Structure 1
Amino acid sequence: MSINLNDPIKIFFDEIEIDNYLPSIKFKIDINMKQFTHHLAYSGEIWIDCNVWDLFSKGLNKRESAVLHDMNDVFIIKIIKKHEFIEFAWSVKRQDPEGNVMTATYSSKITDDVYSLIRNEFTNYPKWW
């Protein structure tokens, strides 16, 4: 099972494992974005707690701000509802034992149509928990 977003950036969530003991899902994540004259590609694996998934989906259904993050708070997607607009934000931050850090972030205003597409992808994801 997968989630595929094409707007505002391309994000592909591919389910690769589930854990019934601590209900969670492991995804392979692929992100590709082009902004101005730059291109950024990110690929990694993350575990998302099913309770966090549910809170994110409920927030999207209520048309409220919502946050999806992995169990290590490395990967974060935020949908921020402001009075004047809706903002989509994504970030990833990894640090190795030696202290080397890799960080990438992106944010963009999105339309109601894009918000609806994002909401549908996440809320229609088949739940097994």
Structure 2
Amino acid sequence: MNITLQDPFCLIIDVIERDERLPSMRCAITVEADQFEQRLLYTDNIWVSCEGWNSFVRNLAANADNGAELVDMSNRISLRVEQSGSEYLLLFQGTRTSALGTICKAAVQAPMHRDGFAVLSRQFVEFNQSE
């Protein structure tokens, strides 16, 4: 099962494996953003703890004042939703470090209106309910 959002940028999270010993999920993540004749394409396979995932979904559903953040178990990606008044901000950051020490970072920060936040929140809540 996957989560797919197109606005304010494309975000696809596809759960491809589960580990019951250490409650976690392996997810394929894709982020695409087109802006000012530039295109960002970020793909990765990450492990997310079920506890971290559930905390993110709870904070989204509760529209928590301190926002909601999803971080993978290796701290390579971060997906964060912040609220300021009636507006929201969706932030994604992905970081990879090679064995030789080269660091590659990709980040997208985009404003979101209440309707966009409702779609994002609903997708994650419905995903949790179907599991």
**What TM-score, normalized to structure 1?**
0.94
Do 2:81 and 2:90's aligned partners in 1 also have CA atoms closer than 8 Å?
A: yes
Q: Greater helix share, 1 or 2?
A: 2
Q: Secondary structure at the match of 2:31?
A: strand
Q: How does 1:34-49 map to 2 (within 5 A)?
A: 34-49=34-49
Q: Secondary structure at the match of 2:7?
A: coil
Matched with 1:2 is 2
Name the CA distance, whole Å, in 1 between partners of 2:128 and 2:19. Answer: 15
One-letter identity of the residue aligned with 1:91: Q
Do 2:79 and 2:92's aligned partners in 1 also have CA atoms closer than 8 Å?
A: yes
Matched with 1:60 is 60
Q: Give the deviation of 1:127 after TM superposition.
A: 5.6
Question: What's the CA shift string for 1:42-86, capped at 9, x where partnerless?
Answer: 111011100001110111111120001110110110001123521
Q: Percent identity?
A: 25
Matched with 1:112 is 114
Do 2:82 and 2:89's aligned partners in 1 also have CA atoms closer than 8 Å?
A: yes
Q: Secondary structure at the match of 2:56?
A: helix
Matched with 1:101 is 103
Q: Secondary structure at the match of 1:28?
A: strand
Number of residues of Structure 1 aligned to a counterpart in Structure 2:
129
Matched with 1:125 is 127
Matched with 2:84 is 82
CA RMSD after TM alignment = 1.5
Cα distance change on mapping 1:127 and 1:22 into 2, 3 Å: farther
Unmatched segments (≥5 aa) in structure 1: none
